[in-house]
Amino acid sequence: MKKPFIVGITGGSASGKTLFLDKLLNAFEPNQVCLISQDNYYKPRHLQPVDSKGIHNFDTPHSIDFEQYAEDIRRIQHGETVHRQEYTFNNPNKTPKTLEFKPAPVVVVEGIFVLYYPELAQLLDLKVFIDAKDYIKLKRRIVRDKVERGYDLDDVLYRYEMHVMPTYEKYIEPFKHDADLIVPNNRGFEKALEVIKSFLKMKV
């Protein structure tokens, strides 16, 4: 098997990465692409940082086990299959699954910090940054966390102001111009998506 082509997809919280990924992955057969998400590399809850109010802050690089994340990507790169337990944020109503990441011609590495950690960023053959204006991201975050996940609005706004935006300004936005492609997603990303899909089709 030839060395896989590794795509990193990043951007701020609620920039539209998940929707972009869903549409991108739907263009390929399951054996053509492997998605390995940062969301499954959070450190255990007792190791998560807390803010001055004692609230866990998952929106910081210190929450992520980057060493293991990079190591698993290298293993996939060398043709190995990786198994990892799903991260459920200690949700008592959810039983974690054992996830299987198989080598594929295209490997998609996704997460808000994939350009931040040098050992991870240097593994990427293509870096894509999904971008959106701050007020649009806030609106999307409210819809996602309050409407879809049932979070209290005050909690959503507190985390956005105290966790999400400081992290974006310090750990995410400074790396935007390290990306090969910046995809604006204020009103949609269809044209950019078509370009990226066409390019990646040549890698499978």
Report yes or no on 111 lying in a domain: yes
Instruction: Evaluate whether residue 190 is within a structural domain.
Output: yes
What residue spans of the chain are helical by DSSP H? 17-25, 66-77, 118-121, 134-142, 153-159, 165-167, 190-201
- Does residue 166 fall inside a structural domain? yes
By CB atoms closer than 10 A (0-12, 13-18, 19+), residue 135 is exposed
Instruction: Please state the rounded mean pLDDT for residues 72-78.
Output: 96
Is 75 within a domain?
A: yes
Asked if residue 114 belongs to a domain, the reply is: yes
3-state secondary structure of 35: strand
Q: List Cβ<8 Å contacts ≥24 apart for 156-161.
A: 158/55, 159/55, 159/59
Q: For position 90, what pLDDT does the model report?
A: 62
Owning domain of residue 184: 5-199
pTM of the model: 0.91
The count of domains in the chain is 1
**8 A C-beta contact, residue 106 and residue 34:** yes
The answer to whether position 204 is within a domain reads no
pLDDT of residue 184: 95
Task: Give the CB-side neighbour count of residue 175, counting CA atoms within 13 A.
Answer: 23
CATH number for the domain spanning 148: value is 3.40.50.300
Q: Cβ distance 126 to 180 under 8 Å? A: yes
Give 98-157 pLDDT, tens digit per residue.
999 999 999 999 999 999 999 999 999 999 999 999 999 988 888 887 766 677 888 889
Model confidence at 92: pLDDT above 90: no
